[in-house]
Amino acid sequence: MVTDKKANDKYTFLIEAARTLGAAESKVIPAQDVIVENRVPLKCRSCIGYGKKLTCPPHVPTPDEFRKILAEYRYALLVKFISPAQADPDVICSIYRYWLDPEAPADKKAQAAQFWQDHFNGTGTFAPMMLELERIAFNAGNPFALSFINGSCRLCESCNVKAGLCIHPTQARIPEHAVGVNMVKTAEMAGMPIRFPVQGHPELMALLLID
DSSP one-letter string for the chain: ----HHHHHHTHHHHHHHHHHT-SEEEEEEGGGS-B-TTGGGGGGGSTTTTSSTTSTTSS--HHHHHHHHTT-SEEEEEEEE-S----HHHHTTHHHHHH-TTS-HHHHHHHHHHHHHHHHHSTTHHHHHHHHHHHHHHTT-TT-EEEBSS---S-SS--TTTT--S-TTT---BGGGGTB-HHHHHHHTT-PPPSS--SSPEEEEEEEE-
Question: Is a pLDDT exceeding 50 seen at residue 1?
Answer: no
pLDDT on residue 80: 97
Which pLDDT belongs to residue 4? 67
What pTM did the predictor assign? 0.89
Contact 174, 149 (CB under 8 A): yes
Which residues, 6+ apart, have CB-to-CB distance to 82 below 8 Å? 24, 201, 202, 203, 204
Percent of all residues in the chain with a pLDDT value above 70, rounded to a whole number:
98
pLDDT of residue 2: 42
Would you say residue 48 has pLDDT above 50?
Answer: yes
Check residue 18 and give its pLDDT: 97
Calculate mean pLDDT across residues 95-99: 88
pLDDT exceeds cutoff 90 at 77: yes
For residue 40, pLDDT over 60 is answered with: yes
Distance CA 59, CA 73 (A): 22
Strand 25-30: give its sheet, edge to edge: 25-30, 75-82, 203-210, 146-148
pLDDT: which is higher, 73 or 98: 73
- pLDDT attached to residue 93: 86
In the chain, the percentage of residues whose pLDDT exceeds 90 is 74
